Amino acid sequence: MSKTINLTLKVWRQPGSEAKGAFETYQAKDISTDMSFLEMLDVVNERLSVEGKDPIAFDHDCREGICGMCGSVVNGVPHGPQKATTLCQLHMRHFADRDTLVIEPWRSRAFKVIKDLAVDRSAFDQLIQTGGYISANTGAVPEANAILISQETAELAMDAAACIGCGACVAACPNASAMLFVGAKVSQLALLPQGRPEAAKRVQAMIRKMDELGFGACSNEAECEAVCPKEISITNIARLNRELIKAAFGSPF
Amino acid sequence: MKLDAKVPGGPLPEKWDKHRFELKLVNPANKKKYEIIVVGTGLAGGSASASLAELGYNVKTFCIQDSPRRAHSIAAQGGINAAKNYTNDGDSVWRLFYDTVKGGDFRSREANVYRLAQLSVNIIDQCVAQGVPFARDYGGLLANRSFGGAQVSRTFYARGQTGQQLLLGAYSAMMRQVANGKVKMFPRREMLDLVMVDGRARGIVVRNLITGEIECHAAHAVVMATGGYGNAFFLSTNAMGSNVTAAWRVHKKGALFANPCFTQIHPTCIPVHGDYQSKLTLMSESLRNDGRVWVPKKKGDKRSPDSIPESERFYYLEERYPSFGNLVPRDVASRNAKNVCDMGMGVSDTGLAVYLDFADAIKRDGRDTIHKKYGNLFQMYERIVGQNPYETPMMIYPAIHYAMGGLWVDYNLMSTIPGLFVLGEANFSDHGANRLGASALMQGLNDGYFVIPYTVGGYLAGMPLGEVKDSHPAFKDAVQEISTQVTKLLSIKGKRTVDDFHRELGRILWEYCGMARNEAGLLKAKQMIPELRQQFWENVTVTGSSGEFNQTLERAGRVADFLEFGELMLNDALNRKESCGCHYNEAYQTEDHEAKRDDENYCYVAAWEFQGVGKEPVLHKEPLAFENVHLATRSYK
């Protein structure tokens, strides 16, 4: 049954990427426990707007946990306390009356803050541009069932492909590494026969780019897996490392 | 204005081949001399950007999200249709074509739909080659399921995330072209106007959503794939950012808007539970393959579902439609849910919900099997509602989902503005008055991968276009107009928030232009919307400034456009004095309360021409000729 709770929010406010930020305190009163976390922020923002104050900027779009656009650190945990759940799907029934919530943006050298809780994740697009694809021009492809893929392989590829590119893995990692994101894409495409021809080139290029963009290295903390809303496994990082070693040995240079 | 759909002659199955041959080609060496703008990066925009770039055109692609991978195609769950007939159950291009025309209640254009069915098979090939991990059978072949009112299994799927996987396929193909230097990507940009020179689309004006700067971009052709207008209703299954702004602004520039009253209401969504609610969540209708829909027979029955005996349950879809049962098309399923709730049999605190019950399926197939099929959907439901669907039936209710109407396009997907092409949900052409499940993904990719690369070429090769730079005076006028509007929005400093106005508009449209319509209600809404629009321009509050990341300002511009667009929906609904597909006018129904079409008078596309805000638009009719299918009464009994 729904009830209402009162919360204290400590929210990171930062007017622009170059400006200095600080925490501001807001009272979120009469919050229905049936609300999603973002609906709670909507309510706070509506009240701020009526008072003529600047609402809290945060990214969001589909609000069904699939677009990957939302995400903030809530009480130190990316996407908040519920496992396998994006911020938009986190509901207020998981909080208690008079809780204090500290809400911050993703923090990483590669993700610059745009405003308040909104960050620039275009580094992820740049990673995909360096090899997160199979080179198959429109039209130049074989009949779909000409490529047989065992159910097991298809399922493993799908597990990796489920990544929504939200960046929580980077936010959770003490090194701000993008290894889970890159590992998931490398794995999906390395598992499938269609992706094999470019597998070696792909993994090398993506790792090089990851370093270049200011992401850290992986030191097996596994924080990324713990916060991933799609439960992408770190076995994908292991697979990436195997691909990288294979690529090194297979290299003609 | 005479609407010429430019449908090629000859027998239906040969039209597209013939047309492709007749379209002029751009010399490979010349393609690099052309700039093409693509707005939107969903399935249609993403696939179009990639395919056009592969051909050698210079593509500039724009999206409002932080990354092109976020477009709302990503949220499609169920699957994508293709006439592969892998299951040997009687499918064919002709059957997919026929099902789609019939499903659309004979209000779509035959030639476009046939082409869609024909090309559907190529789409699957393309996606598999890109590494889309479709579900597979034990032998490694692709798996299929039946979906949303189809009697054959022609739907390909990737768990409950088909849209995501197809979109990431198109996105990665596009990213490859970004790396190649053939696509220039502009994220966090909102198209606010179309620029025309000599009567042709020659560029767009966008607002940079981070800096607030108004930017001008010139091109030889503009391709819009900006999605649907379902958010006019405030609550819908669309993403929060989905809007009608780009489409509405080109409409104001002269592009005709077709069938705006055709809005699909999806039957299996999580019911509304509070005023603060920001959106509605769809549960894939694949759930209807195994879930049974029912309500208690007794009105206002407050007992828990498990204590209501079988004999006191009303399985209304199974009883009313014995041959299709729970799998009737979306419009029929939605209307029946409303009907039983109107009769007082609805469940939940609001009385606006029906049960979708998996108890029998779990008993028959076992919990594991059901988990395998729907695990992620059950989890999603539990996360939102806090109830476990393995133990207690889900509660569902219809919600606004998809816009069948959109900008009018001809067979080449070109609007009434030369050089402006419209793809995917943003156009009107393929789904008639009701879209079948798993057909939106098919259409988006079809338009982007396989239609636009040919038809844009045909347009560009057909006529010499002079040079237009973004310093052309036409851009200055557009920038001026946008700046004026932005300044005005910021200067009102009223008392009501943007969302507050949006919510009220949504309530009006849902009440009077939703699942059932009547003349009196539509006329009443036609009074209310201009009043609301006036209040908006007098009393809205938009904080902040124009030269910054300002999400309230973004929303204000979109709601301002919805407030104008809503009136067009009403005009279209008022004009169509029949019931067809999603457009159910209570005055036109059969004895069984089914939609009653009037083929003699309304077998046409209603394409509206803008005359000014608050002025009556002018109607242009494109008669629909059905030469290959018999105009039958749609029956799922």
Domains detected in chain B: 267-399 (3.90.700.10), 474-599 (1.20.58.100)
pLDDT at A252 over 70: no
Q: Does A71 touch chain B (CB under 8 A)?
A: no
- Which residues on A lie below 8 Å from B450 (Cβ)? 138-139
Answering whether pTM is above 0.90, one says yes
Reported confidence tier of residue A253, pLDDT bands at 50, 70, 90: very low
pLDDT tens digit sequence for A46-87: 999 999 999 999 999 999 999 999 999 999 999 999 999 999
- Check if the beta carbon of residue B552 is closer than 8 Å to that of residue B498: yes
Q: What angle do CA B73, B227, B629 make, to 5 degrees?
A: 90
- Residues with Cβ < 8 Å from B372, sequence gap 6 or more? none
Distances (CA, A) of B577 to B594, B595, B616: 15, 11, 17
pLDDT (mean) for B264-282:
92
Q: Is B213 on the interface with A (CB under 8 A)?
A: no
Cβ(B218)–Cβ(B36) below 8 Å:
no
* Rounded-to-10 torsion of CA B133, B136, B139, B140: -20
Task: Respond yes or no on whether ipTM tops 0.90.
Answer: yes
Q: Which residue in this structure is represented by tokens 């805000």?
A: B613
Phi, psi of B241 (to 5 degrees): -85, -10
- pLDDT exceeds cutoff 60 at B556: yes
Residue-level pLDDT at B146:
86
- Tell me which residue has tokens 């502009």: B186
Q: What is the dihedral of CA B65, B70, B75, B79, to 10 degrees?
A: 130
Q: Which residue of chain B is at minimal alpha-carbon distance from A160?
A: B133
Among residues B330, B335, B435, B634, which one is catalytic? B330
Are A158 and B133 a contacting pair at CB < 8 A?
yes
Angle at B172 between CA B169 and CA B178, to 5 degrees: 150
Over residues B142-151, the mean pLDDT reads 86
**B281 contacts chain A (CB < 8 A):** yes
| A16 shares contact with chain B (CB less than 8 Å) | yes
Percent share of chain B, pLDDT over 90: 91
Q: Which residues of A touch B141 (CB under 8 A)?
A: 145, 148
- The mean pLDDT value of chain B amounts to 96
Q: How big, in percent rounded to 5, are the helix, strand and coil portions of chain B?
A: 40, 15, 40
Q: What amino acid is encoded at B567 in this protein?
A: E
Length of chain A: 253
B523 touches chain A (CB under 8 A): no
Q: Confirm if B227 and B242 have CB atoms less than 8 A apart.
A: yes
Yes or no, beta carbons of B131 and A144 under 8 Å apart? no
The pLDDT tens digits for B480-538 are: 999 999 999 999 999 999 999 999 999 999 999 999 999 999 999 999 999 999 999 99
Quote the pLDDT of residue B18.
Answer: 97
Task: Please give the pLDDT value at position B592.
Answer: 83
B543 contacts A138? CB cut-off 8 A? no
Which residues between 585 and 624 in chain B have a beta carbon less than 8 angstroms from any beta carbon of chain A?
none
CB within 8 Å: B541 and A142: no
Query: Nearest CA of chain B to the CA of A41: how many Å?
Result: 11
Nearest to A66 among B66, B74, B128 (CB): B74
Q: Look at A61 and B129 and tell me if their CB atoms are within 8 Å.
A: no
pLDDT at residue number B273 = 85
In the three-class reduction of DSSP (H, G, I as helix; E, B as strand; rest coil), residue A233 is classed as: coil
Contact between chains at B164 and A162 (C-beta distance less than 8 A): yes
Asked if B217 and B37 count as a contact pair (C-beta separation under 8 A), the reply is: yes
- Using DSSP, state whether B481 is helix, strand or coil: helix
CATH superfamily of A122-250: Alpha-helical ferredoxin (1.10.1060.10)
CA distance A223 to chain B (A): 22
- The yes-or-no answer on residue B330 being catalytic is yes
Per-residue model confidence (pLDDT) at position A251: 59
Task: Tell me which chain A residue has its CA closest to the CA of residue B53.
Answer: A137
* Minimum CA–CA partner of B56 in chain A: A137
Question: B576-610: string of b/e by CB count within 10 Å (b at 16+)?
Answer: bebbbbbbbbeebeeeeebbbbeeeebbbbbbbbb
Phi, psi of B159 (to 5 degrees): 45, -140
The pLDDT-based confidence of B637 (bands split at 50, 70, 90) is confident
Q: Strand, helix or coil at A224? A: helix
CA A47, CA B429: separation in Å to the nearest integer? 42
Q: Dump the DSSP string for B578-611.
A: S-BTTB-BTTSB-TTS-B---HHHH-EEEEEE--
Question: Which pLDDT tens digit goes with each residue over A184-219?
Answer: 999 999 999 999 999 999 999 999 999 999 999 999
Residues 6+ apart with CB under 8 A from B407: B224, B247, B250, B251, B255, B256, B257, B258, B415, B422, B426, B427, B428
A31 touches A94 (CB < 8 A): no
pLDDT band at A1 (very low <50, low <70, confident <90, very high): low
* Neighboring chain B residues of A65 at a CB cutoff of 8 Å: 380
- A-B interface: how many C-beta pairs under 8 angstroms? 219
**pLDDT tens profile B32-41:** 999 999 999 9
Task: Domain ranges for chain A, please list them.
Answer: 4-114, 122-250
Residues 545-584 on B with a CB inside 8 Å of A are: 548-549, 551-552
In A, minimum Cα distance to B42 occurs at A67
The residue with tokens 């995909």 is A128
Q: Which helix (H) or strand (E) holds B193?
A: strand B189-197
- Which residue of B75, B128, B129 is in closest CB contact with A66? B75
Residue B160 reports pLDDT greater than 90: no
Q: pLDDT for B591-626, tens place per residue? A: 888 899 999 999 999 999 999 999 999 999 999 999
| Cβ–Cβ under 8 Å, residues B216 and B205 | yes
Domain A4-114 has CATH 3.10.180.10: no
